[in-house]
Structure 1
């Protein structure tokens, strides 16, 4: 195992943009499971920010985001707003000289991703897409087994993420103006998992069904690679799927229990008729967001602008695939 202990990472002072549900998990991870601290929170609703600050013991509250990024005590900003606002909020923080961790998906499309990364490069700050799965111990264990040849040559990778979300038409996941749909919110997990293992595909083939509001409600994607390799990613807003991931090779397979994208169990099986379990590793840890927060802290302390585990090129590749998927299924966001 090569995942560093999060509490060994340097301290980092965080500010949070948009105190929604996922921000609660991040604040808890930073406060309880790293040496860092959340020192400020900003929201369009001062009452909401105050409630969040009281719950997590955050000393400073800002109404709006301009004051949050101008806060001299904040070293890094966690952007937890809807996808439609990621570009603007990331640029706001970067232009204020802050390092940024931007929730997945990094932006709405490849053009916005390029704007964020160009700004970070120019400003000399760190930037990373918050794909927390990349940093988790069970994913590290799986990658080590693949690298050691435990399953031979990879032939197939499959992963899915579906949730039974009975949502009203004005919910952000159904709102085109907020870059809603299954792909950017849920499908990004299996797509990113596949690209982490196989890199960017040569071919993308997608079929899907749209919601009544015109965003993707259910999508199946096949990704083509050289040689014998194929991968499949499935995502839906309409049913709770197994949410598992399997990496199949000529000598065996590595299988992650559902939900594969969070701390979980991985099994190594032989490619025999019984699919014999050779090894099993329990990767359960509390929360999980502490690993990406610690990665940011280490990179910032080391003067690096990007993480080796979630590189800028990897974020570009993930978004290029999702752009092509949306093109094929007919999803266009306002202003694109």
Structure 2
């Protein structure tokens, strides 16, 4: 590891989980920034962070911070990541990367201009069971991959003002939940060649349920279902001509899977043993990319170019289901 000095921008629930895993992994968490000194101080005290900033600008300007984790709601990602990049910091940006492809492309260009890493915090990509899954696919154990199926379905707050439902906060199942299985489909099958999407919108205009059927190279198919109003199995499958992988719930967090042959024979079983939630693995990957000088992220499980492409897929899904966020043209 490079020993990068981490700063965390914002102090919500996902920032709390990330800070906990950074501490579990022994990484160097040196600063936090919030919109109020009180919130920054409380977060710093909880995680023994030496510097607490009362603004995001102050955090970005901190000379002792090398990389900033942006954990604000989706519509703020672009502005906050841009702030960090403009101050010469590497950036790990919570998923979804931004709210649209145009913003994602802007971050990619700015990072390239400044020779900095900008990386989407799709932590699932970096978990040990996903690393092993990619190895199994590369080894040819599954044969030709014909299908990917995954759901991300939860029963979440129905308050219209909650960030999951408020359009001004990028509300809806798509950016918060569907990003997981859609990113997974991209990871296994590559960029979709065709997209069909359906959704149910609630009174705020946000999507409570969204389903996709996407075609990929060679005619392979992926299907995803995401919901913020009903909890489903949260499992995933990769189906090949020689074998399939069955990933247990919750498939996007540390879990187990089986490689199963056409006759039902279990070829391999994998069980995760991960300290904490597992968000430290994306931090390891970010530090490794900086150490290698791979600031374009080409060697990462989720390079920035792919994050930009995934945002394009989400844009097309939103076009089909009729979801537009405030301020978009």
**1:291 maps to which residue?**
281
d(CA) in 2 for partners of 1:237 and 1:284?
A: 28
- CA separation of 1:310/1:227 partners in 2, compared to 1, >3 Å: closer, same or farther? closer
Contact 2:112 2:296 in 1 (8 A): no
Aligned residue for 1:322, secondary structure, equals helix
- Pick the aligned partner of 1:265 from 253, 256, 280: 256
d(CA) in 1 for partners of 2:70 and 2:253?
A: 20
**2:296 maps to which residue?**
306
**1:279 maps to which residue?**
268
1:202-235 Cα distance to aligned partner (Å, 9 max, x none): 0000011011100111011000123341110110
Contact 1:265 1:284 in 2 (8 A): no
Q: Structure 1 stretch 147-156 or stretch 49-58: which is displaced more?
A: 147-156
d(CA) in 2 for partners of 1:303 and 1:252?
A: 37
Q: After the TM superposition, which segments of 4 or more aligned residues of structure 1 sit over 3 Å from their partners?
A: none
**1:30 maps to which residue?**
22
Aligned residue for 1:241, secondary structure, equals coil
Q: Tell me whether 1:79 sits opposite 2:70 in the alignment.
A: yes
1:58-102 Cα distance to aligned partner (Å, 9 max, x none): 011111100000000100000000001000000000000000000
- Once the two structures are superposed, the pairs formed by residues 102-181 of structure 1 within 5 Å of their partners are 102-181=93-172
1:83-136 Cα distance to aligned partner (Å, 9 max, x none): 010000000000000000000000000010011111111111111000011111
**1:88 maps to which residue?**
79
d(CA) in 1 for partners of 2:285 and 2:219?
A: 34
Shift of 1:317: 1.9
Aligned residue for 1:172, secondary structure, equals coil
Task: Note the residue ranges of structure 1 that are not aligned, 5 or more in a row.
Answer: 1-8
Aligned residue for 2:164, secondary structure, equals helix
**1:68 maps to which residue?**
59
d(CA) in 2 for partners of 1:42 and 1:172?
A: 20
Q: Structure 1 stretch 299-308 or stretch 19-28: which is displaced more?
A: 299-308
- Once the two structures are superposed, the pairs formed by residues 213-224 of structure 1 within 5 Å of their partners are 213-224=204-215
1:286-326 Cα distance to aligned partner (Å, 9 max, x none): 22111110111111122221332111221022111111111
**1:45 maps to which residue?**
36
Q: Tell me whether 1:316 sits opposite 2:324 in the alignment.
A: no
RMSD over equivalenced CA pairs, Å: 1.0
**2:6 maps to which residue?**
14
Q: Tell me whether 1:332 sits opposite 2:324 in the alignment.
A: yes
d(CA) in 2 for partners of 1:291 and 1:156?
A: 27
TM-score, reference length from structure 2: 0.97
Contact 1:196 1:314 in 2 (8 A): no
